[in-house]
A = this chain, B = another copy of it.
């Protein structure tokens, strides 16, 4: 017997229906913000995928050679592809460019709750604006989406510019910066302490380790921004970033946010405001991540263009919403006997009802009437139309309500309205 590959999933009809409902509710919000959907290839050159995604993700790439011996990989995230597409074909569109996608991505994960080797991301990229209102638009959109599906969540917003201001003051190089950011991202504070002590950065009476750990301690509502100001007084670039964060937050329409300077994001390419959203259900906590990446397009060979975006982890969102019932209202059309002419009448009636957008099943198993009614009961079909010769002579059929058991004779001409 064949099995699906490890870490992947098959989605059954009911599950798929729920996923589509949630997808469409999120899509609705993206469209209201006038973001436009795009689609890029499922695989990309290894070179592109490995350029800026971070070491950890690089190790998880599914890599293969195409028949022309070019090294390819299944995309582990979408931002690299969107940026490539932008540089290749979209760069001359009027700014800002507002794009969204709903795409499957692939990582060689160890299977665990909420982590799959094929998973879905829904996200957006706003390209061309460096103004705080564009950061806010992205945060508002991310929150509006989750509001639209009634999901409980917590949002943490930070700013990498604050850390970067400290790094630049202490002459921390790029490799060191990435190492520090990864330790912060993983909340590995022992590892962080150890690593910072090896750097031993001191300057003008400031000790980097102290500053960073104090900074990480600030976490709370908007007032934190004023409170942290004194800590950053010697770091002008950090203060600029703090002001930028303040300006952004002025445009965020929700109050229930947490300022958290420990948001460092696993992906290397973020440069400014960063945020993460967590679900409140057990397991699979992070459901969304995003932020500003003003250097990535240039790094990928385009002009320097500011950009900001986010992605929902769609599978994690599905784990975080309350389960719901999907209402179905389908009709079964059955001939009263196994008779070719009656079956043809069933097909005609089915056709008539499908044309007015009713969900109609025909009896495809050649079952006798009572077996067909059993089937309708089993699969939850609520109405059965029984087609018999005698009724047909009067241009009528029998309509049976499976919930009440009630039967009535109805005119075929009125069927679109009575069913």
Contacts and interface: CB of A to CB of B under 8 A. Distances in A.
Nearest to A332: B34
What's the dominant secondary structure at chain A's contact region? mixed
Interface stretch (A160-168, A214-222, A353-361): A353-361
B2 A301 contact: yes
Contacts of A137: 362, 364
Contact of A375 (B12, B13, B94, B340): B94
A261 B261 CA distance: 71
B5 A17 contact: no
A366 B66 contact: no
Contacts of A250: 340, 344
A101 to B, nearest CB: 9
A304 interface: no
Interface residues of A, number: 94
Interface stretch (A125-133, A190-198, A201-209, A233-241): A125-133
Interface string A53-75: 00000000011101110101010
A16 B34 contact: no
Ranked 10 nearest A-B pairs via Cβ: A64-B64, A13-B36, A8-B41, A11-B39, A32-B354, A1-B301, A2-B48, A134-B364, A129-B364, A10-B85
29 contacts: A1-B300, A2-B44, A2-B47, A2-B48, A2-B300, A3-B84, A4-B41, A5-B41, A6-B66, A6-B68, A6-B70, A10-B40, A10-B41, A11-B38, A13-B37, A16-B36, A17-B37, A19-B39, A31-B359, A34-B360, A34-B361, A43-B74, A62-B66, A63-B64, A64-B64, A94-B375, A133-B366, A134-B364, A136-B347
